[in-house]
Amino acid sequence: EDSMDKPNIVTCTAPVNIAVVKYWGKRDEELILPINSSLSVTLHQDQLKTTTTIATSRSFQEDRIWLNGKEEDINHPRLQSCLREIRRLARKRRNDDDPSLDSTGLSQRVHICSVNNFPTAAGLASSAAGFACLVYTLARVFGVEGELSAIARQGSGSACRSMYGGFVQWIMGEKEDGKDSLAQQVEAETHWPELRILVLVASAERKPVGSTSGMQTSVKTSSLLKHRADSVVPGRMADMIEAVQKKDFAAFAELTMKDSNQFHATCLDTYPPIFYLNRVSQQIINVVHRYNRHYGETRLAYTFDAGPNAVIFMLKQHVPEFVQVVQHFFPPETNGGQFIKGLPVNSAA
């Protein structure tokens, strides 16, 4: 009896992913099914990440959650979807293994603690790492294995891609039940060890328009978004996978920048328009193009999500010089609070 009262505790971490072919727009809000496929790079495990600890105990009266030290509402619908789906899988597994098995462990309540080591909601994909980590940790707690990205997807679309390391595609799928809308590794984290990213923080403030409501408005109002999803992304996914497989940096970089630019163009085409880039973001874009033009080759790529912060891709040998360029154009004394961070990208989820 004693041991039954001891909490069972599991801690896991999950890294942020950076999309190079962007997800923007849903065809099903409840199941979180996208209008186009997307592709991302998962960061190194010890860089930008979420750490989640989950305890179960017979003495817990109810499910509870704390985010960055503050208790939040456990009845959040997406959180409930993830809890429900993991418990459903666990129950199914038990019944398959041995129908006579008692499933009391499954009815135990969970206490969830989750912390990020980076600013939340500044366009740095906090929900992606957060829901990936929640689903993975819950699966460990309840002894569930196998395909979990379709569950992480129901927490936050981009979270399904953080379930794998390296280069990951989220295949949009065709089914109405979403069973084929999954993340899949394109290349492992060891595939392109020379690839590096730097995050240039242009503002750590909360974004004015959240991704979920922003993309709803875009789906309703932007004909450019429809054109992008139907006619641009399918070809771009194929080209991007080829560039990654060949480790063709120039091709990878150009596709990445064009896709970021088209995503922000669809935001401007949304009515009323959504502005995620600020003046610093625009200056960064100009510096990158000037740098590439100076060398006569594409050595840098920028990409921006739903916020003004830039993620810059480059090869290892160009990092020191690019850091000098950033320090020259964006000296810390003139824009206080800005920082840069070098991040190797080769690691697993």
Which spans of this chain sit near ligand 2P0 (rule: CB under 6 A)?
19, 22-24, 32, 38, 127, 156-158, 211-212, 305-306
Nearest alpha-carbon partner for 215 in 301, 305, 315, 114: 305
User: Which tokens belong to 104?
Assistant: 């009391």
Q: Of 307 and 322, which has the nearer Cβ to ligand 2P0?
A: 307
Shortest reach from residue 288's CB to ligand 2P0, in Å: 18
Shortest reach from residue 162's CB to ligand 2P0, in Å: 10
Shortest reach from residue 77's CB to ligand 2P0, in Å: 11
Q: Of 15 and 157, which has the nearer Cβ to ligand 2P0?
A: 157
Which amino acid is residue 54, in one-letter code? I
Residue 260 is inside which H or E element, if any? helix 249-269
Residue of this chain nearest to ligand 2P0 (CB atom): 157
Shortest reach from residue 108's CB to ligand 2P0, in Å: 28
Q: Of 158 and 169, which has the nearer Cβ to ligand 2P0?
A: 158
Q: Of 269 and 305, which has the nearer Cβ to ligand 2P0?
A: 305
C-alpha to C-alpha distances, 164 to 77, 168, 170, 347, nearest whole angstrom: 24, 7, 11, 9
Strand order from edge to edge, sheet including 109-116: 8-15, 49-57, 109-116, 64-67, 70-72
Residue 262, by phi and psi: left (phi above 0), alpha (psi -120 to 50) or beta?
A: alpha
Shortest reach from residue 7's CB to ligand 2P0, in Å: 30
Q: Of 56 and 256, which has the nearer Cβ to ligand 2P0?
A: 256
φ, ψ for residue 116 (rounded to 5)? -105, 150
Cβ proximity of 192 and 45 under 8 Å: no
